[in-house]
């Protein structure tokens, strides 16, 4: 109880600083409609969220984060540009580690502004100043660079779509990339099934919800995939080199310009990266030594689609990032009922700040 009270007190102090930076204070319901979260994240969210059922409202989830309800609120009629701040508990199931908290405090700041580079710099600069007394190490990334590189691959649209779905699941992404490049061969059992002109022969009765027609359609998709030429080894090597890029921001920019020669769809994202560095510098952020990791943010919430950042403890590397954030322009479009506006934000976990201070 004492720990929880201390976390809330620290959160309140952080919230005051966000309000001082021009944010409007907002709150979000603890119970959120599950259908929207399932639509946004798929069934994977069930493994991380607590669910319950309401006789009138249907399936509900204990709030797994604040960004989605804040975006909903803004897109339902908020003026622009806008800045919002909030604090409260979020709830995450922990199936693998009983020591990790399943309920903890978050304090956040969200900016809706059409000058994307300036807003990125504003939010990152604000978090840098607020967290400066705690001796944390910053890191930046850009999910937009990763997705642009995937879209540049010379392969089928279906394969690109599958890779895009798993950008936030690095292990599954790597398995797909190995399969699509021919490094992971088709198993004998699958090859036999796909090569059969009577796949249901001696298979017994149908079990489950899929009809025979649906199974046949899925087999056709798999046959088309097997017939697709593999992604070239050179492209795979370049993509892996991009994903493993870890440099200071200026050096990363130089490397990214080289990558854009082979991945032409990278060019707009590299231009945004360049503009962001200029905006960060104008905002007083020292970019010369600012770390960049191309794969940073790939295990975070899936709505990030551009600039991402985090702050880690150098004395407690066992802890998750103390603060995280990023850009989520596509989320505003999905929730905007025809409207869209660039948006960026981040959250701090005051409970982790207390752990670092101990």
* pLDDT value of residue 35: 82
The secondary structure of residue 78, as a DSSP letter, is -
Q: What is the mean pLDDT of residues 91-111?
A: 81
* pLDDT value of residue 186: 65
Contact (CB, 8 A) for 335 and 75: yes
* pLDDT value of residue 328: 93
* pLDDT value of residue 324: 95
Q: Is the pLDDT of residue 1 over 60?
A: no
Q: Is the pLDDT of residue 155 over 70?
A: yes
Q: Is the pLDDT of residue 160 over 70?
A: yes
Contact (CB, 8 A) for 283 and 121: yes
Q: Is the pLDDT of residue 222 over 70?
A: no
Q: Is the pLDDT of residue 288 over 60?
A: yes
**Which residue did the predictor score with more confidence, 187 or 146?**
146
Highest mean pLDDT: which of 27-31, 82-86, 216-220? 82-86
* pLDDT value of residue 224: 66
Confidence of residue 206 (pLDDT cuts 50, 70, 90): low
Q: Is the pLDDT of residue 354 over 80?
A: yes
Sheet holding 291-293, edge to edge: 24-25, 82-91, 103-112, 343-348, 323-327, 307-313, 136-142, 291-293, 246-248
Mean pLDDT of all residues in the chain? 87
């Amino acid at each position: 109880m004492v720990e929880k009270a201390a976390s809330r007190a620290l959160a309140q102090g952080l919230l005051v600083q966000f309000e001082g930076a021009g944010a409007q204070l907002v709150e979000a319901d603890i119970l959120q409609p599950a259908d929207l979260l399932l639509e946004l994240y798929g069934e994977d969210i069930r493994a991380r969220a607590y669910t319950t059922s309401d006789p009138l409202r249907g399936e509900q989830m204990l709030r797994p984060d604040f960004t989605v309800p804040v975006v909903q609120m803004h897109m339902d009629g908020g003026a622009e540009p806008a800045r919002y701040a909030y604090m409260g508990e979020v709830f995450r199931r922990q199936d693998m580690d009983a020591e990790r908290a399943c309920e903890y405090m978050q304090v956040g700041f969200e900016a809706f502004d059409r000058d994307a580079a300036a807003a990125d710099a504003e939010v990152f600069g604000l978090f840098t100043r607020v967290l400066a007394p705690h001796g944390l190490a910053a890191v930046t990334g850009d999910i937009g660079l990763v997705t642009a590189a995937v879209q540049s691959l010379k392969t089928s649209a279906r394969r690109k779509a599958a890779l895009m779905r798993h950008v936030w699941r690095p292990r599954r992404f790597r398995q797909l990339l190995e399969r699509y490049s021919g490094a992971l061969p088709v198993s004998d059992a699958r090859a036999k099934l796909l090569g059969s002109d009577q796949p249901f022969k001696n298979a017994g009765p149908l079990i489950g919800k899929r009809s025979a027609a649906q199974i046949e359609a899925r087999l056709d998709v798999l046959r088309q995939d097997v017939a697709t030429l593999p992604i070239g080894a050179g492209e795979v090597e370049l993509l892996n080199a991009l994903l493993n890029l870890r440099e200071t921001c200026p050096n990363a920019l130089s490397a990214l310009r080289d990558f854009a020669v082979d991945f032409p769809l990278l060019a707009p994202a590299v231009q945004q990266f360049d503009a962001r560095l200029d905006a960060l510098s104008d905002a007083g952020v020292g970019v010369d030594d600012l770390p960049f990791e191309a794969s940073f943010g790939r295990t975070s919430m899936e709505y990030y689609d551009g600039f991402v950042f985090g702050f880690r403890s150098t004395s407690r590397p066992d802890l998750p990032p103390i603060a995280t954030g990023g850009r989520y322009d596509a989320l505003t479009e999905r929730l905007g009922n025809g409207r869209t506006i660039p948006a960026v934000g981040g959250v701090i976990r005051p409970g982790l700040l207390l752990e670092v201070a101990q």
